[in-house]
Structure 1
């Protein structure tokens, strides 16, 4: 029993960390980049997208997903009232990992192919910022709700 509680707490913390990262982008980083000249905004976001692919971020991001899966598999046989734990896992796996892989990563890949100082960058940047940020809001809320759901499950 204490193992499942500990696993739930660690998983909720991972969801909270990711929610905080996404939140910072939604309320500050993307607005700041949007105030730059398009070529500078594109160059900065391209750099951010390269730098964030590091062992610490990937470990927390995908590790939290793995913990969600483990928690859902362990918790269901452990006790009957696992709705909050399963809901938290699904919210993170679909709303954070899924949205990232299906929506944000393809946008990042498209942006990576655009020379920052090209005329095309102006057009791509405006579309990218709007769509990427919209999906980032979804990831933020999903990760936060996943964390809250896991806390309620404890």
Structure 2
């Protein structure tokens, strides 16, 4: 997991991960004049869910766990203890991200 956390920090991943939030915001802002149309609300709600449920959860939930894991020796007792807690907590937040991203994708599709 330590090597995955290092590998994932690259320009391509960051562009896709954060870029979708930026694109969602830009598209939402461009449809402000059309908010009387139900489809515009799907885009707005999809953007909010993506930003909070995917990016927000990553920054507040997953990244602190990744940072804690990065500094521990995986072969130590402290590393084993941290790993047990890491698995439970990280998996929970990852499920939240996955569900939020799926809901946002459905809402973006409906907005089209």
TM-score (normalised: structure 2): 0.94
Moved beyond 3 Å, runs of 4+: none
Gap runs ≥5 in structure 2 = none
How far did 1:79 drift?
A: 4.6
- Normalising by structure 1, we get a TM-score of 0.69
Give 1:95's match in structure 2, choosing from 53, 58, 68.
Answer: 53
Q: Give 2:91's aligned residue.
A: 133
> Are 1:142 and 2:100 matched, yes or no?
yes
Gaps of 5+ in 1: 1-44
Deviations 1:58-81 (A, max 9, x none): 000010010111111111224522
Equivalent position of 2:19 in the other structure: 63
CA RMSD of superposed structures (Å): 0.9
Name the structure, 1 or 2, with higher relative contact order (CA <8 Å, separation 6+): 1
For 1:16-55, what aligned pairs fall within 5 Å after superposition? 45-55=1-11
